[in-house]
Amino acid sequence: MTRIIGLTGGIGSGKTTIANHFKTLGIPVYIADDEARKIMQTSVVIDAIKKTFGETLFEGEVLKRDKLAQIVFNDPEKLQQLNEIVHPEVKRHFKQWLLEHKAFPIVVYEAAILFESGSYKDFDVIITVTAPLESRIQRVMTRDKTSREQVLGRINSQWTDEQRVSKSDYVIENIEIENAKRETENILKILRIKQNEY
């Protein structure tokens, strides 16, 4: 039986770096945000977004993602509407992915809003990646070429580290990347031992 590890953390925490480290350790990883991006280009989702948010977000059939981001990150109700369109499709896609990886004893599902979406209930183990707030802000500003205010808006639309940690089985502190990678390897050792006990 494959054990599914939910990997999460706030924006800029470095959870994708940790997810990629799991990959180097031979663990299949499903990056929900990447898959959601692809799914948002499917006709079913495009039609639903047009119906909910209007045609002005599109150039032809191409979604203006930055415009949509501006709308949803400043309006929790609109964010909820978008999640209700995209999340069921991601969930369906992940089920298919899981069937393709059923030979693996452990897989990882990485997502920013594991708790906010309620999908954390679907996983056997939850790992949260944390990092100091200022580090997170600087990382996202550099990565997304965006302003401090916009980053803080996105951080404030997510759960706090305290909320995530309180519902997690393991926490990886991503202050210094080599230490964070070591913590990842230690957690994987524990999970493999537990897997063998099942």
Would you list which residues are annotated within the binding site for ATP?
12-17
Contact 25, 188 (CB under 8 A): yes
| Rounded distance between C-alpha atoms, residue 78 and residue 141, angstroms | 24
Residues belonging to the binding site are: 12-17
Total length of the chain: 198
- Cα–Cα distance, 43 to 180 (Å, whole number): 40
Q: Among residues 93, 165, 101, 99, which one has the least CA distance to residue 130?
A: 165
- Distance of alpha carbon 198 from alpha carbon 193, whole angstroms: 9
What is residue 107's three-state secondary structure?
strand
Q: What is the Cα–Cα distance from 47 to 184, expressed in whole angstroms?
A: 40
Cβ contact 135:33 at 8 Å: no
Other CB atoms within 10 Å distance of the CB of residue 54: 10
At 172, phi and psi to the nearest 5? -110, 120
